[in-house]
Amino acid sequence: MLFFDKFFNPKSVAIVGASRTPGKLGYTILENIKYSFKGNKYPINPNAEEILGLKAYPSLLDVEEPIDQAIIVVPAEMVKNVIEEGIKKKIKAFTIISSGFSEIGEKERELELKKLCDSKKINIIGPNCIGIYKKDLDMLFFPKKRLKRPPEGFISFITQSGAFGSILLDIMANEGVGVSKFISIGNKVDVDEISLISYLERDLSTRCIAVYLESVKDGQEFIKVAKRVTKIKPIVAFKAGKTQKGSEAVASHTGSLAGPAQIYSSAFKQAGIIEAKTSDEIFDFSKALANQPVLKENKIAIVTDGGGFGIVAADATIDCGLELPSLTDVTIKVLKSFLPSYASVKNPIDITGDATVERYQKTMEAVLKDKNIFGVVCIALMQLPTLDDTIVDVLEDCKVFGKPLTVCSAGSDFIQERNRKLEMYGIPVYPTPERAVKAMSVLYEYGKILKREEIVKKK
């Protein structure tokens, strides 16, 4: 039995190894829990009576009230005893932050934990992980002043690597991309990507599942579960350890064995998973899939206020297998009625470097109404003095047309502030035309996956 509700929606948590010393993991975890989690919090430390204003307890057994989840951050050799105490306390969910297990060759310690899971019907996330993050349950051991927390959103992220995941979280926070749940699974002695994907299948706050993988223990079950889930919501996976040296690094990182890259790529395709080939892509694809409708046909338009970026986007469109069809005569007539004579009404549509917000608004409306166009990549060089902040509202209003939109907008702090607002509205923004187009192509790829499933159902 899987006690996922105890992991993600506990009423009470204990922090075993809570510390009074600022800078220690047990201190930072308790501090983050204290200010994010509204339920009962129990620091466990035999040498303290109070930590951060919370009553401390010598052990889990000294807490009279029930405990839903124990977060463990003690030396590896003490972890088994802590879990055995937790079992006596009838705790069902344990998140083990502690390292010192199979990643350093201590496989016997890990095997002992697995035996407890099987015999005592408990669940463990970890060991050797950074735990769970959601807005109301922050057990990360990074201080908030060093690692920003992203806003609430619709991407749930499963990662074997805590470091990879934490950096991605920081980037998402900086860019304003929302997260539903972040789960670091480390050595995955018990809870793994397969069981989590099954759980997230039914999670209403998750629209896209992103997975950083180093290894999969049960490939057939992984494909079976993912194939079922991708009929409902997209999964983006990034496989690390593709080379011989990378595979060796995986073994020393989480104690796992990595398989050949082509096997994983084939499995992903079979399961309907979108494969990210780079660390940028797992981020780029997830935020598009979580917030935009699918691209029903491979015919898109590019709207730009910079000719050069428009050309780059056009090349990327063809490279990605998308098309740039001609606009209908009706659309061309509408565009010519308000665009200056030096603008281009061919696809890409170049509304030139003196574009105003009104020009963008009219152009986007005309293009999105065009029956030949199923999605738009909008390039907005917001440094132009003719564009004010209302460009953000204009692009948000484009959602009423029900067609996917990705935006290319790059620049420093002034531009990033506008980009964050767009991300808050669910409009994915990218720093280069190529990335904006590639994200659009993934919306087409997932659309084909859904269409394929519809054909199978009809048969």
Where do the domains of the chain lie?
1-128, 147-291, 294-450
- The pair of three-digit structure tokens given for residue 37, joined into one six-digit string: 């989690």
Query: Rounded to whole angstroms, how far apart are CA atoms 240 and 242?
Result: 6
Query: Rounded to whole angstroms, how far apart are CA atoms 151 and 157?
Result: 14
* Cβ–Cβ under 8 Å, residues 190 and 114: yes
* Cβ–Cβ under 8 Å, residues 155 and 287: yes
Please report the pLDDT score of residue 261 as a whole number: 73
Query: Rounded to whole angstroms, how far apart are CA atoms 411 and 306?
Result: 14
- Find tokens 């293009």 and name the residue: 367
Among candidate residues 438, 402, 401, 455, the one with its CA nearest the CA of residue 294? 402
> Which of 3.30.930.10, 3.90.1150.10, 3.40.50.261, 1.20.1250.20 would CATH assign to domain 294-450?
3.40.50.261
Task: Let me know if the fold of 1-128 is the same as that of 294-450.
Answer: yes
Q: Name the stretches of the chain with pLDDT < 70.
A: 1, 242-260, 453-459
Half-sphere exposure of 341 (CA within 13 A, CB side): 0
Beta bridge partners of 429: 407
Among candidate residues 337, 428, 354, the one with its CA nearest the CA of residue 155? 428
For residue 336, CA distances in Å to 245, 330, 429 come to: 57, 10, 28
* CA torsion through residues 302, 307, 313, 316, sign: positive
Domain 1-128 has CATH 3.90.1300.10: no
Query: Rounded to whole angstroms, how far apart are CA atoms 258 and 243?
Result: 9
* Cβ–Cβ under 8 Å, residues 436 and 430: yes
* Beta strands 405-408 and 376-379, pairing class: parallel
* Cβ–Cβ under 8 Å, residues 229 and 235: yes
Please report the pLDDT score of residue 258 as a whole number: 47
* Cβ–Cβ under 8 Å, residues 183 and 159: yes
Q: Which fold has domain 147-291?
A: Rossmann fold (3.40.50)
* Cβ–Cβ under 8 Å, residues 118 and 151: no
For residue 171, CA distances in Å to 7, 132, 167, 177, 190 come to: 25, 17, 6, 8, 29
